[in-house]
A and B are shown apart, each in its own frame.
Chain A
Amino acid sequence: DSGVTQTPKHLITATGQRVTLRCSPRSGDLSVYWYQQSLDQGLQFLIQYYNGEERAKGNILERFSAQQFPDLHSELNLSSLELGDSALYFCASSVDGGGYEQYFGPGTRLTVT
């Protein structure tokens, strides 16, 4: 158990809908990272937050947004969902912004039908 929690575990929704994925980092970790892993694809970095502020952006679509709250938990919002958004979404956390040691959560499996 990495200490990073993600909810929900599974999510099934229809195209065009909007969903919110939640992540709680390990106690003491200030950075949160979001990744997308499509079927048989590698991990794609989406976005990083550090202590409430956006730190780095990867291949995140404009339909996706994220934020980190004062209690350091983070939410990833996915809107106007398309079939291609079906994937595993992982959250990771690290103690600082450099991300030297990242701990991954169990992931949220999103299925768009």
Chain B
Amino acid sequence: KNQVEQSPQSLIILEGKNCTLQCNYTVSPFSNLRWYKQDTGRGPVSLTIMTFSENTKSNGRYTATLDADTKQSSLHITASQLSDSASYICVVADSWGKLQFGAGTQVVVTP
């Protein structure tokens, strides 16, 4: 069973609207959680990295939250743009540096 579950699998949003992606994990012992953006056919690009002590982190219009107690994270996209259309991948690292990848959420922003 995958130790990192993402939801929804895909979503379509109108340009200018906000959306929130979810990531639940069971990885233990936890070290850090990353969100990556991957455009189709290209390499993932890091958006945020959060450790145990961090509850929220922003990168422009992207805001990630982490609740290490419930083992949940979310990625909020504000005022979406067409260029936000991509797959968003949640990755969780354990204390030995081993990474577990979520399957990703495919976001499509329409005009």
- Enumerate chain A interface residues (CB-CB to B < 8 A): 2, 4, 41-45, 56, 88, 90, 92, 97-107, 109
Q: Inside 8 A of B46's CB, which chain A residues have their CB? A: 101-103
**Given known A-B contacts A42-B89, A42-B104, A43-B89, A104 and B97 have beta carbons under 8 A apart:** no
**Given known A-B contacts A42-B103, A45-B101, A56-B98, A99 and B93 have beta carbons under 8 A apart:** yes
User: Is chain A's interface secondary structure helix, strand, loop, or mixed overall?
Assistant: loop
Question: Nearest B residue to A44 by beta-carbon distance?
Answer: B101
A109–B43 Cα distance when bound, in Å, is 11
Q: Inside 8 A of A98's CB, which chain B residues have their CB? A: 97
Question: Nearest B residue to A105 by beta-carbon distance?
Answer: B43
Q: Inside 8 A of B42's CB, which chain A residues have their CB? A: 106-107
Q: Inside 8 A of A44's CB, which chain B residues have their CB? A: 101
